[in-house]
Amino acid sequence: MLKGFREFILRGNVVDLAVGVVIGAAFGALIASLTRDLLTPLIAAIFGKPDFSAIFVTVNGSKLMVGNFLNALIAFLLVATAVYFFVVVPVNALMKRYATAPPAAPATRTCPECASAIPIQARRCPHCTSQVGAAAA
């Protein structure tokens, strides 16, 4: 049972997923810091608010922290933009560059009488002169 667990853990896709999660968490923290420490004060300076996290709405005595939501929204948009431009676009370009062309349609077919190769559009075999009919679509 432990041997099976060890094989499962050491599979390439599980290790790749673990590395991706760790890097994603670190990248998310980096973007959150960029949002909180650089962009939010910059945007707040333009609109006159010292910090987005201080923006809230009170409804029946409950605070709705609109500013925290705006910080999270900006962080999400930045992460999504960075992932798209730094991961998705380059991977798509690589996949397009290394994609193989679909196989070309065959130019010949086999004569049912003499088994020789004849052109696809031929109606008569040039080797045995038997009629072979129209090519199937």
Q: Give the pLDDT confidence score for residue 50 in this predicted structure.
A: 56
Instruction: Report the range out of 50-59, 70-79, 112-121 with the highest average pLDDT.
Output: 112-121
What would the pLDDT profile of 44-67 be if each residue is shown by its tens digit? Answer: 788 776 567 778 899 999 999 888
What CATH superfamily is the domain 8-98? Large-conductance mechanosensitive channel, MscL; domain 1 (1.10.1200.120)
Buried b / exposed e over 42-79, threshold 16 CB at 10 Å, is: eebeeeeeeebbebeeeeeeeeeeebeebbeebbeebb
By CB neighbour count within 10 A (0-12 exposed, 13-18 middle, 19+ buried), where does 118 fall? buried
The full set of domain ranges for the chain reads 8-98, 105-137
